[in-house]
Structure 1
Amino acid sequence: MNGDVTDWKRRNRSFYYASAPEPDDPDLNPATTALLVIDVQNTYLARPDRATLSDPATLADYDAWTPFHARMNGTVIPNIAALLAECRSRGIECLFARIACQTRDGRDRSLSQKKPGFNNLLLPKDEWPSQIVPELAPRGDEITVTKTTDSALTGTNLRLILHNLGIRTVICAGIFTDQCVASTVRSLADESFDVVVIEDACAAATMELHEAELRIVNMIYCNVMATQELRALLPR
């Protein structure tokens, strides 16, 4: 990204929107705007010491995930922390979503959370792995919704909460860009919320997946921009 804080209007365009006019700035009135932090939970950031691993397949998997962890710790978490501080100082509602099941054996999870593979995580709601990472912990009466679906709207009463709070614009950050973030963004757009996705406050397992999903959702389901571009648009 260059120094032009309007570059988001031209960046991350898919084939569908290559020649579309530039979008209007989002309405970021603090009274009607919320920041939603999605699924930045202990389970996704915890890692063993690499020196304790010996199995070649386990080591290969560990190394494959190293860029994700570097991005989370070096870019995404610091940017979300900065967004939380900025929004709190301006009276913008800060909300959180997390994946967790109500039962210890996970029998209440949706099908997408039970299929074998990456999504098949057992995260009982009161255990350490399902909690939001300490650096981004909710404060005071900030609202956290617990879901067993990818979309934070489908699996919770978040739509009603946002409606009751008078929210019209939702700023989204978190993980994973191509899964729970994208699913939540689509649901919000379908409910006629104006959505902003902060590209350097989100991550997917790989940058390829992250960047591809940003192009897919941009300009139809949301406006994609960087942290500094959002901050330049916030009312002074």
Structure 2
Amino acid sequence: MAMSNTALLIIDVQQGLDDGDFYGGNRNNPQIVENIPTLLTLFRSTHKPIFHVKHNSINPASPLHPSKPGNAIHPWAAPIEGEPIFEKTVNSAFVGTTLEKVLQEQGITRLVVCGLTTNHCVSTSVRMGANLGFEVLLVGDACATFDRVGPDGVLRMAEDVHMHSLTDVHGEFCQVVNTKEVPDLIK
């Protein structure tokens, strides 16, 4: 297997995140069910490393609690043999896991990131990855989020929350790209 300094990081693509009622409703970007598998196929076919992150909520009512079936990774994003899963209980994929150490040991300096949800675990992991010195490409059309009520009581639509989250990190913590751009960017 060829070594690569670029890895795919898939964050929290778990069945419990289909529970729109629990998370605020109206998840945007249904194309993730096609775009994430496209990224997986690309990285597998080019023998580049893939790392999965799974959220184990400490809230027993959460669909992502380890006791719930929703804790499972979606079959369309599931790891295959040799693709490690890092389990976390907070928003960052780097806190309470060995992810940073493993990436450094493998000489990985660049991360292509996708997953759920754009404004929570994806954004937090992108920010921290950049702060730790990794170059980060965030695949915006391979991420999604939910409607959110702001502190002012106003309902923000999922697509607006998603785009604001991408806007906040682009150019500061990462480069936001789309799935079709990734093959040329990881050559």
TM-score by length of 2: 0.85
Query: How do 1:69-84 residues align onto structure 2 when only pairs under 5 Å count?
Result: 71-72=29-30, 75-84=31-40
Q: Partner amino acid for 1:209?
A: V
Q: Which residue of 1 aligns with 2:161?
A: 209
Aligned-pair identity in percent equals 30
Instruction: Tell me: CA distance 1:122–1:133, structure 2 relative to 1, closer, same or farther (3 Å).
Output: closer
What is the rounded CA distance, in whole Å, between the counterparts of 2:92 and 2:19 in structure 1? 23
Q: Which residue of 2 aligns with 1:44?
A: 17
Q: Which residue of 2 aligns with 1:34?
A: 7
Q: Which residue of 2 aligns with 1:12?
A: none
Q: Which residue of 2 aligns with 1:222?
A: 174
Asked if the contact 1:30–1:90 (Cα under 8 Å) also holds between the matched residues in 2, the reply is no
Higher helix share: 1
| 1:65 aligned residue (25, 30, 40) | 25
Q: Flag as ranges the 4+ runs of structure 1 deviating above 4 A.
A: none
1:44-82 per-position Cα deviation (integer Å, ceiling 9, x unaligned): 1257xxxxxxxxxxxxx59x724x26x33xx01210000
**1:88 aligns to 2:71 (yes or no):** no
Q: Could you list the runs of 5+ residues in structure 2 that have no partner in the other structure?
A: 147-157
What is the rounded CA distance, in whole Å, between the counterparts of 1:211 and 1:142 in structure 2? 30
1:136-182 per-position Cα deviation (integer Å, ceiling 9, x unaligned): 11001201000000000013111011111110000000011111000
Query: How do 1:80-119 residues align onto structure 2 when only pairs under 5 Å count?
Result: 80-100=36-56, 106=58
What is the rounded CA distance, in whole Å, between the counterparts of 1:198 and 1:30 in structure 2? 22
1:6-60 per-position Cα deviation (integer Å, ceiling 9, x unaligned): xxxxxxxxxxxxxxxxxxxxxxx9610100000110101257xxxxxxxxxxxxx
Question: How many residue pairs align between the two structures?
Answer: 174
Asked if the contact 2:19–2:63 (Cα under 8 Å) also holds between the matched residues in 1, the reply is no
- Please state how far the C-alpha of 1:194 moved relative to its aligned partner: 0.3
What is the rounded CA distance, in whole Å, between the counterparts of 2:64 and 2:92 in structure 1? 16
What is the rounded CA distance, in whole Å, between the counterparts of 1:177 and 1:123 in structure 2? 16
Q: Could you list the runs of 5+ residues in structure 1 that have no partner in the other structure?
A: 1-28, 48-60, 107-112, 115-119
Q: Which residue of 1 aligns with 2:114?
A: 173
Instruction: Tell me: CA distance 1:123–1:65, structure 2 relative to 1, closer, same or farther (3 Å).
Output: closer
Q: Partner amino acid for 1:147?
A: K
What is the rounded CA distance, in whole Å, between the counterparts of 1:234 and 1:170 in structure 2? 10
TM-score by length of 1: 0.68
**1:121 aligns to 2:62 (yes or no):** yes
